[in-house]
A = this chain, B = another copy of it.
């Protein structure tokens, strides 16, 4: 598999075999009270219960386990606002190789702590995609490490797709799958796995209004980037990648744009009703459903709960 090529459904299936035994098979939860509020049948795929607290461990594991021994020897570098960094750090620790993570200096404290706890080296940089890219290029030049990009990498996208693959094995007759979208890895993987198993599936993304570049890119038919992100969804500030742009353009029904205030309300609702610790970047999906009820009414909806890494001392309410 070439990291820079658009992956296909077969690569999602291969990823599932490769990472089995490393990743957790996460449960699917339901809630009668949330179904009553949403007017549809919600099936929450709990990737907040995944190792490292986020789906990111799937893609990172697939990429790190795909490396040849020679590639692995020089270590891995990546950039991440947090969850992908922790995922790469743990995947590298399990393979016994070095990891370096370039993190914007406004990353959530708890996510920086997790990366450090898994033994990776952190290189801080100013926020913004261009600054991240520059800092990572420097590390690549200095170390010769292998790049595992957080989303614009076929191995990562294929790995993230295993969340939807598993969900459809657990609940085969879904009408809709919806995930958050930032760089597009999770949502692209959902497209490949979802339509690979179930061509009639409708697939949606949810994106913060303050970082709606993916929505805008798909609307314009060309990849835009470089706008400043303004959202408290700290996992959703990256720009859509070129691989994601290609996959979403072919598969996606729509990206639903959500205001942060609605995301916070949905986050509270998930904590209260589902009893799950869910981060804002994950709760956005429920907010998207509640904001466009006509799209979901009466349907069987698979919701990828992408992560649960929250600073308990800085809750947004």
A→B interface (CB under 8 Å): 27, 29, 32, 46, 48-49, 51, 53, 268, 271-272, 274-278, 308, 312-313, 315, 317
Contacts and interface: CB of A to CB of B under 8 A. Distances in A.
A317 B308 contact: no
Contacts of A277: 271-272, 275-277
A51 B32 contact: yes
A268 B29 contact: no
Given A32-B51, A313-B317, A308 B27 contact: no
Mostly, the A contact residues are mixed
A271 B48 CA distance: 11
A275 B53 contact: yes
Contact of A276 (B51, B276, B315): B276
6 contacts: A29-B49, A49-B275, A268-B312, A271-B277, A271-B312, A277-B277
Nearest to A33: B51
A274 B53 CA distance: 8
Nearest to A268: B312
A277 B275 CA distance: 5
